[in-house]
Structures are given as structure tokens and as C-alpha cells.
Structure 1
Amino acid sequence: MIDEATSLLAARLFHGGPPEPGPDWSPVDWGAYPEEVVDRKWRQEAARLNRLLDERDDAHEPIGAAPAPASASAPTPATLARVMDRLTAAPSDPADGTDGDAPRLAARLSVEVAREEAAATRAHGRGPAAGAEGPAGGSGGDPWIDGFAPVFPLQPPRTGRELLADHVTAMVCCAAVDTAGAAPGLDWLDGPALLVGGRRRADLAHPVLSLVEDGDDGPLRAWLGEVGVRPEKPVRLV
């Protein structure tokens, strides 16, 4: 009971949530956390990234605008190769410079994540009513525990590029789990981890950043070859 209470209190403080277990908030055993939370988070982010790739591109759509309607045709299989090809392709808009579609994807991810978080807040009744003030006298957007908002967020808001890097990392991890026998893990200090052969791989950040920031897929392809990941194979999404 003490562990359960501590788990719920930590979730409430750092993530926001009700003080008692419910349909959306229930204790997760530490041993089940990689499958129940880490793997699910990776696949949710991979699904979001592929959903944006499925959208019909509009050359005149301004950066940061709402996503264009999805194509009526059958969705393209969700593969890591598709993501890499998109981020290394020549830019469709000269204004994007040498970064290809990375700025557009990063901007769309920022909009999509903000929209989903706002929808989740409304759906679960989190946060004080419009115009209400929290204990510190702030506006309705201030975090305060009675409104289920996190009092101590675990990380500051991410930039579009950081979101894109996180989503590409999630796609890589899904591909590694589905095609190379890897497994989700959890590190006490660093959080979600990818386990290959039972050991944590902590060398994925640089190859992903090379792809996202420079459009260079060489380091990531070398990493995939070393681990045995097959980027052309579809991954399982949520």
C-alpha cells in the first residue's frame, strides 16, 4: 500500500492526475513498466509521426499551420525507412534550405502534441476553470495540484526539433523491438531505455540527431546495421 500510494503521489506531482486510482490512473508494477508504459509511449509517438507523414503535403501551407487532411488512399506502411527517406529527401520548399522536410515535420508535431494535450486536459476535466486562480495567485494555466496539473513537470516544454528527434527515436526503438529482438527497458536515472541482448544501448542519440538536424542518415544506418534492425519492415503501431 505504501508503494502504491507513493506511486500515485509521484504521478500526481510530476504528471498531473487524480489523487486516487481510476480508469486512466492506476498503479503499474515496476516490472511491467517497460511493456505497459515505455513500449506504449514509443508506439504512440511512432503512430503520430507516421500519421503526419500520411498527410497530403501542401506546398503553400505555412509552417505551424494545422495539419492538412489525410489522403483518402490506403496509408503507406509504417517503416523506419520511410521516415529516413523523408528526412533526407531534397527540400520540397526552397525556404526550408538544406533541412528538407524536417522543419515542416517539427512544426506539425508541435501543433499536434499541443492539440492532443489540450484535448486530454478538457476530456479529463484537468486544470482549474477558465479565469480561476491557483494557490499562488496565477492564471488558470498555472500548475496547481487541485486541478490535476503537474506541480513539478519532469521536463520543460520541448522545441519542435526536440519533439521530432524524440519521435524518430521512438520509431527506431519500435523497429528494433519488432525486427531485431530488442526490448523496452527502464533506467532508474534516465528513464526509458532500449535493451539489445539484455544490455542498454545508450548510443542512439547522436545518429538520430545527425538525421534530424543535418539530414545525414549515415550514422543511423550504421547503427541499425550493427544492431540488426531492418528499416524496410513495417512496425506495429498502437
Structure 2
Amino acid sequence: VAGTSASAQPDIAAARRFVRGLDGAVADAAAPARGPVRRALRLPRVFVGRIARILLRSCRGHAAEMERGVAAAASSRAREVDYGLRIVAQEQVGLAYAGWDRLLTRVALPAWRMGRWPSQLDAGVVAALTELSRRDRLAEGYASRLGERPACDLLEEPGAADEAASLLAARLFHGGPAETGPDWSPVDWQQYPDEVVDRKWRSEAARLHRVLDAVGVPPAAAVGGVPTLDRVVEHLEAGEAGGEELAAGITAAVAREEAEAEDEAQRRAKATAPGGPAAPGTGSDPAAGDDLLALWGPDPLPLFPLQPPRTGTELLADHVAAMVCCAAVDTAGAAPGLDWLDGPTLLVDGERRADLGSPVLSLIEDGDAGPLRSWLASVGVRTDKPVRLV
């Protein structure tokens, strides 16, 4: 903030507007030509886009030097601020970033992967930062500031603005469609535990049992072949090799399901685009073939992916933990819950249980079921009882 004066300098502001204008012209030329007017002006737009691209390449070095100069001026101005205040500000910014990051990766991402997008991300950020202020002494000031009148009150329809921003975040970070559909619908925070957490657990538990069927693990005959937690624990307890086989099977199943979902999304996008399956922007275009926007089509890939692909061990741990949570809900009276910083969580007697990860890893990595059986006994989970799957 101390260095913003350099950005407000008229020549710098004008240069930035010029570069943004060139960038906008390139993007406009690469956008699909929808509508008769835009199709008629396609050739002029492509010509202007090529000229703008040449100008951008020519001024790239000058723009980079200008931004370095702005950054140097901002840094020099910021050093004049008291050191103690700078440290506090850096800590506060870091904590705010951590709250946003955890809300997106641990709360929003599980919902996005299921075809649901939380429609009140701004409200979730406030809740996450408030929870962060409760847990971290460095964030204690958040609670008082967040209790003041929020800036969104200045909007005529803050709920609609929050929903629009939430959908935009889902597109930027996950690549979801631009509009609600049968496989892409909003969910509010009150519905999140039942419609996202419980469904996520049961979907993963069902996938785990399908992989067990595929590798030839017999079902529990004592309960009529229905899924039980005993079946999972006993198979993993029998050797290390069983865990590797399950991890490979789950990885392949997840990749196959994601590919099928992507193919279905592309099919629907082509079917709903103007002109049907051969709509502009969905095929190869020699004039704009080197432009990523033209390759992406109407449903772009995420511009800022949140997480790298998960490993087989991580996927197996998630699926085993999901099976344990399903068994706890069905046989021990537990309930799905939402933690603003850690995402889906298991509630036992109304209290959050965050100690399941270590016993599950002991079972997967070492074949040691002792810690997990002790945990199940403390919660009162019956491993021999059938579990409801989706």
C-alpha cells in the first residue's frame, strides 16, 4: 500500500492502459464469433488481433522494465514504514492468504469435484478468518474488524454479488461451466454437510468397494455380502501388497471417471453452443490455432489449478477414511460436519474428531490395524455392520 503512489503516476497508468488494450484486442480476436454481427466482423477482428499481438511482442521488454521500476519504487517507499508495522502487516497478509487458501482447497474443492459450487464464498471467507482468529494469536485482530459493517452492505444485492463471485471462483480455480446445470448446481453452507460431505464419503466408499470387487476380495458372507468396514480393514491388514493394489485400482477408477465427466461436459457444451456441434470456437482454426483461448472453447480449463494430482496413497487414504466415517455415521450416531479451515469433518457427540488420519495411514502404509481398531472402539463403531453406500 505504501508503494501505490508510483502506480498512480499518469504516464505509468497510461502505459498500463495501452498494454491492457492490446491484450484485450488479442483476446477479442480469439473469442468465438457468436452472432451474425461478430461473424461478419471476424476477419477485421483477426487482423486487429494480429497487429495487437505484434505490438505486444515489441513492447514486452519496455513493459517489463517499467514494472520493475514500479516495484523498486514501491519497495523503496515501503522501507520508510516502521519495521514493526511492516512485520505485523506481513503477518496479517500471510494469515489472510492462509485462510483463503484453506477455504478454497479444503472446503470448496471437494464440492467442486462433486459438481456442486458453494454459492456464498465471501461469507465463507469471513467465517474462515474468524475461526483463524480464534485459533491463532497473530490473527486475534480479525474478529473485531470482521465484526464491523462489511463493505458488501454497500451493494444493492450482496447475496447476488457473492453468488456471482463464487461461480467465477469455481471457473477460475476448477474450470466449471458458466451456468448451473444438472451436474453443476449451487449449495449453501447449511446444506454442505449433508449434500457434500456425506455424499463425498459414500461415493468414495462405494468406489473403494468396487475396486475390492475388481481385485477379487470376497464380501462379508456373514451379512449377506453387503459392504462392511471389516472387509476393508482385513484386506489391508493382510499385507503391504494389498494396499498398493487398491491404490492403483482407485487411481485408475478416479482417472476414468474424471475423463468420462470431461467428455460429457464437452459434449453438452457443443450441443448447447450456437450452431450445434460445429459451433465456432469448438473446432480447429488456423488463424487462431496458437491461442489457448481458442483451444479451450466455451468451457475453459482452470486458469489457476489449486492442487497437483493426488498420489495413489493419498487417494487410498481418503477412501479408507471415507469408509470409516460412513461406518461411524451409520453405526455410532456420528454426523458429517464442516470445519471452515479443514473442510469436511466427522462430528462425534457434537465434537469434531480430527485424529483419524494417523490410524488410517498406519493401516495403509504398515498394515497395522491396531491404532485404527482402538480409534473405532473409542467412537463405538461396529465394523461388522453393513454400511449404506450411494
TM-score range, shorter chain: 0.7 to 0.9
Q: Distance between the aligned counterparts of 2:263 and 2:213, measured in 1? A: 27
- Can you list the C-alpha shifts for 1:81-122, whole angstroms capped at 9, x where unaligned? 1100010114xxxxxxxx131111111111111011000000
Residue 216 of structure 1 pairs with residue 368 of structure 2: yes
Residue 87 of structure 1 pairs with residue 228 of structure 2: no
Match in the other structure for 2:312? 160
3-state DSSP of counterpart to 1:184 = strand
Bigger fraction of residues in helix: 2
Bigger relative contact order, structure 1 or 2 (CA pairs below 8 A, ≥6 apart):
1
Match in the other structure for 2:195? 36
The equivalent position to 1:52 in structure 2, one of 199, 208, 211, is: 211
The correspondence of residues 73-112 of structure 1 with structure 2, limited to 5 A, is 76-90=225-239, 99-112=240-253
- Can you list the C-alpha shifts for 1:177-223, whole angstroms capped at 9, x where unaligned? 11111111111121111111111111000000000000000000000
The equivalent position to 2:292 in structure 1, one of 124, 135, 160, is: 135
Q: Distance between the aligned counterparts of 2:312 and 2:176, measured in 1? A: 26
CA pair 33-231 structure 1, distance change in 2 beyond 3 A: same
Q: Distance between the aligned counterparts of 1:82 and 1:2, measured in 2? A: 48
3-state DSSP of counterpart to 2:352 = strand
Q: Distance between the aligned counterparts of 2:203 and 2:181, measured in 1? A: 21
Quote how far apart the aligned CAs of 1:136 are. 7.9
Residue 121 of structure 1 pairs with residue 262 of structure 2: yes
Higher mean C-alpha displacement, 176-185 vs 17-26: 17-26
Residue 7 of structure 1 pairs with residue 156 of structure 2: no
Q: Distance between the aligned counterparts of 1:85 and 1:133, measured in 2? A: 53
The correspondence of residues 156-195 of structure 1 with structure 2, limited to 5 A, is 156-195=308-347
Match in the other structure for 1:64? none
Gaps of 5+ in 1: 59-69, 91-98
CA contact (8 A) 1:88 1:100 kept: no
Match in the other structure for 1:20? 179
Quote how far apart the aligned CAs of 1:149 are. 2.7
CA contact (8 A) 2:178 2:299 kept: no
Counterpart amino acid of residue 201 in structure 1: R
Q: Distance between the aligned counterparts of 1:161 and 1:108, measured in 2? A: 11
The alignment of Structure 1 onto Structure 2 pairs a total of residues equal to 212
Gaps of 5+ in 2: 1-159, 270-280
3-state DSSP of counterpart to 1:101 = helix
Higher mean C-alpha displacement, 112-121 vs 189-198: 189-198
CA pair 237-135 structure 1, distance change in 2 beyond 3 A: same
Quote how far apart the aligned CAs of 1:41 are. 0.8
Q: Distance between the aligned counterparts of 1:86 and 1:130, measured in 2? A: 48
Q: Distance between the aligned counterparts of 1:145 and 1:39, measured in 2? A: 34
Counterpart amino acid of residue 164 in structure 1: L
Question: Percent of counterpart pairs with the same letter?
Answer: 64
CA pair 133-166 structure 1, distance change in 2 beyond 3 A: farther
Q: Distance between the aligned counterparts of 1:130 and 1:57, measured in 2? A: 44
Quote how far apart the aligned CAs of 1:153 are. 2.7
Quote how far apart the aligned CAs of 1:134 are. 5.6
CA pair 227-135 structure 1, distance change in 2 beyond 3 A: same
Quote how far apart the aligned CAs of 1:147 are. 2.8
TM-score using structure 2 length: 0.50
Q: Distance between the aligned counterparts of 2:190 and 2:290, measured in 1? A: 39
Larger radius of gyration: 2
Quote how far apart the aligned CAs of 1:129 are. 5.9
RMSD: 2.8
